[in-house]
Every structure is written in C-alpha cells, then in structure tokens.
Structure 1
Amino acid sequence: MTFSLGPALLFCPADRPERFRGALEKADAVIIDLEDAVLPEAKAGARQNLIDADLDPDRVIVRVNAPDSAAFTADLATLAQTDVRTVMVAKTESAESLSAFDESFSLVALCETARGVHAADRIAAHPQVVAMMWGAEDLVASLGGTSSRTAKGGYRDVARYARSRVLLEAGAQGKGAIDAVHVDIEDVSGLESEAVDAAASGFVATACIHPSQVAVIRAAYAPDEASIEWARGVLEAAGRERGVFRFRGRMIDEPVLRHARSVLSRVR
C-alpha cells in the first residue's frame, strides 16, 4: 500500500459541511476532522455531516478521535456508513490500538504524544498503516511543556526529534510521512521554509489548516526547472556509464541516482 494523494492535505472541521467541497477543490485531499476541530457537543452533528457528504472518497481522509477516547466507537460506526476508507487516527500510541479497524481501511497514524513517538517503529510496521504523521503541540503538551517553538519561531529540539523519528520509522517500513501543520497562517515564509525542508528530507506531504497554505506547499514540493534538468541529465548519463561516474563535476553513485528519481517523481 502506498500513500500518493499529493503534497497539500487540507484539514476541514466536520461540523462545517459547507466547506467540504471547497476544501477538496483547493487541495490535493481533504482531512475531514472529527477530533480537535469539533467541540464535544457538536460531534454528533459532525458525524451526520460526514455521512451526508457527497465527496470523492478516494480524496478524503477522516481524522477520528483517539482510540482510547469515548468518541472513538461512534466515529467507527459513522465510517461504516460512508465510502471513505482512509482514516487518520489521532493520538495513536500503539500498534495494538489500531486493531479496531478491519482490513478495508488504510490508516494514517498520527503520532503526537510521547508514547506515540516512542512506539513509532511498531506503529509504522502495522500492515494497514500507509502513512505516518506527527504533531507538535499535542506532543509538547503530553510532556508537560508549554510551546513547541522557540521565540525565533523554529521548533524546539524535542519537536525536531519527533519529526525526524516519525519520518525515519515510516521510511524504514516503506510508508509515507506527512509533516505537521504550520499553525501561524500569516507566517508564509516560515511555512515555505518548512515545506521545502520537508520535501527535501523525504516527506510525501504537508498538512495545512487554511486554503492559502495550499499553493505554498505545492510550490515547495515541486522541483524547479534546474533540478528537473539535472535529474534528467544525470539519469541519461547513467544509461551510458558503468558504476560510479562523474557528472558536471560531481561524483555520481546509486544514492545520487535515487535522489534524481525522487526529483522526477515530484513533477506534477
């Protein structure tokens, strides 16, 4: 199983059904959120909105509440009344907690607590998990902290560790990794910097919370013309060479050729 919906995944609260179609039109896929974006008293109505929605199920992800929460069972019952089969599991803390899903579901495990990040290797190995995502704010809260970022805007070391661990464990199992949302909507340069780094590091997508962030993320994941030209050139040269060779002053071996293939895989 692979995760290939596209680089910009837009969250949409499940209690705002008037936004569903617009979100899906603007982004590569929409994450309809039954968890944090919906107040407890609004969850029942939000679930009905999901049942009533007329959307392409192949481009919809539903974020359900944590497996140990009181709302989880009702979320599962709601999913059974829809055609959506890609589910983001909030606050995933163990592989065992995913056993409630039958084999028809593809899972995006959201590791956003200390326990979840600690168990990321075992979660990533779960056969129904197609992608992993991490979350900064819930992670720091689970540690008793107060902020995931420094005064200069960058992530604190603990958040950077969690981001790296989730990416590495997902990669070790051949699963996709999704970067966390950039909550400061006005900080376009910060979002751009993080999305560029995410793409270069190996993330397959970045989640976002506002439609204005979609174009920034797409641009960050799309290679520029110079990179595309280099990738095509070096792969063409590899067809004529044997083993390690030199291309435009740089030593080229198989890892570099894999970089080039990754560049071309991001051409939309």
Structure 2
Amino acid sequence: MTIVALYVPSDRPERVVKALRSGADGVIVDLEDAVAPARKAVAREMLASLAGEIDAAAREGSVVAVQVRINARGSAWHDDDLAALRPLPASIGVRLSKTQSADDVVHVRQALPGRDVHALLETALAVERAFEIATSGAASISTGEADLRAELAVPEGEEGEAGLRWSRSRVVNAAAAAGLPAPLLSVYADVRDLDGLERSCREGARLGFGGRTAIHPRQLAVIRSVFTPTEAAVRRAEEIIARVGSAAGDGSGTVVLEDGTFLDVAMVRAAHRTLAAARR
C-alpha cells in the first residue's frame, strides 16, 4: 500500500537515484510539469536507465512502486512519452496527467497494454466525471490541484483547503464506489511549511484519502506520520477482525465490544485496510 509517493523530474537522474532510496513507498518520475519544454526530449531519453536504477535500489533493500507521469493526451509530447515507456518493464506504471475522460484512460491502456494507468483529475470536468474515469480500467484516481484551484478560483495554500473539500470528497467517493484504493492527496507546494503540511494531511485523512504525494524528501516523514495508523488503531483493527470473525463462525454475525461499539462483518473491510496501511 502506498502512503507517500515522491515526485522527481526525469531529466535529473541524480535525483531519481536518491528518490528510489528516500524511504518513499512510491516514486513518480515526472515528464510533465517538473520538466521544461526544452528538456522534454532529454527527460524521455533518461528513462532508458530507469529499470536498471530500480533494480540497483532493490538489491540494496529499497523496493518501491514506480510510475512515470506523462504529458496529457492531446499535448505535443504525449505520443513521444508513450513511445519512451514501451520498452520499460510493465511493472512501471503510468500516471496520466490532466485526465479528462474514461476514453483518455482507455487510450493509454491500449497504447501500453499490461501496464497500470493512474489517472490524475485536474479540472472541474474531470472531477464531475470521476466515477466514469474510475471505472474505465484505471488502477487508481487522484486529484491534481494546481489547475483545479485556478479553475475554481480557490486560494493557494491552507486558505483554500475548504474550497477543495467537495472536489476531494467526490474523488474519494468515486474511487471507493469503483473498488479502487483510497486516493493520494495532491502535493503540498510549500516545502518549508511542515506544520501546514501536517494540518492539510489531517484534513485529507478525515475526508478518506489514503496518503499523499510529495515534492521534497523532507515532507515524507510528516505525511507518513499522519496517514500511518497508530498502535491503538492497529490493536482495535486486530480486535475487530478477531471478534467479528468469531461471531461469523458461530453464526451470530454481530458482536458488541467492551466499550459498547456494535460491530458487524461489514466493518472487517475497514479493519483490513488499517492493517495494510500499518505494514508500510
């Protein structure tokens, strides 16, 4: 389970190497916003060494999920990005920027068969189509909030958190309805404001997000501390699984804990999710 994923520009290979050993659960090698137009071709060429760097990091004990964020369908760079990904191992996922429709996901899946496609929803229209996109074969959906803030006239930083709440909840709900993992929150742009990052993460956790993407290694510990279940939460999840499992076994199907909480078998799913997050 990915709790924190670190973005790194593809045209900075030394940063890619460091990111793979940073302690992040995932690394997103970026061909889009982090790479200037004049550097796009260089960034694609650098991808040729990515599989080797992943293998080297794994031999050193650093095993992470890796994605490549590509430029949006219809952009001048999209087709070349797809071509650069084809020779890479299928275990490297593709993160599709500015996904606007289910057809965008289908297009990439057909161009890169066997590879997970993770859809970034960055506009009001994409958020309105969240469930359609989530059920198009995407491996995950999540928000990209820089463009979304601009379109919705939502202020930058913490001031705009409330203005994004509905859009964020819409995406969380669509992912759950489609049976996808809980989305990752978009990046927090001020890498120096760790207190603000923590508050923002807690707001996202309350809405149902499962983690967050980061743009600097110093953000990783804060994100992980918020989204990793506490020891008390883990103990409770273990109790729920054990007690409800026993109830199901003896045919009762329900149980009441010592604190008066009424449980049934439906709550086991959330408990398993808690334990999965705790294992990272």
1:145-172 CA-to-partner distances (Å, cap 9, x unmatched) read: 26344xx535142x21211111111111
Of 97-106 and 66-75, deviating more is: 97-106
> Number of residue pairs matched?
259
Q: Secondary structure at the match of 1:56?
A: helix
Q: Secondary structure at the match of 1:266?
A: helix
1:173-214 CA-to-partner distances (Å, cap 9, x unmatched) read: 111222111112122223223334444544333111110111
Scaled by the length of structure 1, what TM-score is found? 0.88
Query: In the alignment, is the contact (CA less than 8 A) between 2:154 and 2:160 conserved in 1?
Result: no
What is the CA-CA distance between 1:44 and the residue it aligns to? 0.7
Scaled by the length of structure 2, what TM-score is found? 0.84
1:107-152 CA-to-partner distances (Å, cap 9, x unmatched) read: 110000122112111111112x100010221112234x26344xx5
RMSD, aligned α-carbons: 2.1
Distance 1:146 1:264, change over 3 A: closer
Equivalents in 2 of 1:86, 1:239: separation in Å? Answer: 36
Distance 1:250 1:87, change over 3 A: same
Which of the numbers 57, 66, 74 marks the counterpart of 1:60? 66
What is the CA-CA distance between 1:62 and the residue it aligns to? 0.4
Of 175-184 and 234-243, deviating more is: 234-243
Equivalents in 1 of 2:103, 2:114: separation in Å? Answer: 17
What is the CA-CA distance between 1:82 and the residue it aligns to? 2.1
Of 85-94 and 203-212, deviating more is: 203-212
Aligned partner of 1:50 in structure 2 is 47
Equivalents in 2 of 1:148, 1:135: separation in Å? Answer: 13
Aligned amino acid, residue 35 of structure 2: V
What is the CA-CA distance between 1:49 and the residue it aligns to? 0.9
Which of the numbers 189, 200, 224 marks the counterpart of 2:230? 224
Aligned partner of 2:38 in structure 1 is 41
Which of the numbers 78, 84, 94 marks the counterpart of 1:78? 84
What is the CA-CA distance between 1:100 and the residue it aligns to? 3.7
Residues 54-203 of structure 1 mapped to structure 2, 5 A cutoff = 54-56=52-54, 59-83=65-89, 85-98=92-105, 99-102=107-110, 103-127=113-137, 129-143=138-152, 145=153, 147-149=155-157, 153-157=159-163, 159-176=164-181, 177-199=183-205, 201-203=207-209
Aligned partner of 2:59 in structure 1 is none
Query: In the alignment, is the contact (CA less than 8 A) between 1:136 and 1:148 conserved in 2?
Result: no
2:43 equivalent to 1:32: no
